[in-house]
Homo-oligomer: A and B are copies of this chain.
Amino acid sequence: MLVLHHAWRSSASRRVRLCLEEKGLAYESHVVNLEALEQHSPEYLKINPNGVIPALIHDGKPLYESGTICEYLDEVFPEPPLSPDNAYDRASMRNWVRHVDALIGNLVIFNWRHSLQKVAEKWTDEELAEHLKKIPSKERQEAWLRVARRPYTEEERAVARGKLVHLLDRMERTLNETAWLAGARYTIADIAVVPFVKRIDEEIAPEQVAAQFHPRVSKWWADIQARPAFARANIGPFLDKWGQAQT
Per-residue CB contact flags for chain A residues 132-144 toward chain B (1 = under 8 Å, else 0) read: 0000011000000
B61, B67, B99: the one within 8 Å of A94 (CB): B67
Check if A68 sits within 8 Å of B98, measured CB to CB: yes
Given contacts A75-B87, A75-B90, contact A65 B95 (CB under 8 A): yes
Copies in the complex: 2
Main secondary structure of the interface of A (DSSP, over half): helix
Across the interface, which residues of B come within 8 angstroms of A61, CB to CB?
Answer: 88
Across the interface, which residues of B come within 8 angstroms of A65, CB to CB?
Answer: 94-95, 98
Report the count of interface residues on A (CB-CB < 8 A): 28
Closest B residue by C-beta to A72: B91
B-binding residues in A (CB < 8 A): 49-50, 58, 61, 63-65, 67-69, 71-72, 75-76, 87-88, 90-91, 94-95, 98-99, 101-102, 137-138, 163, 170
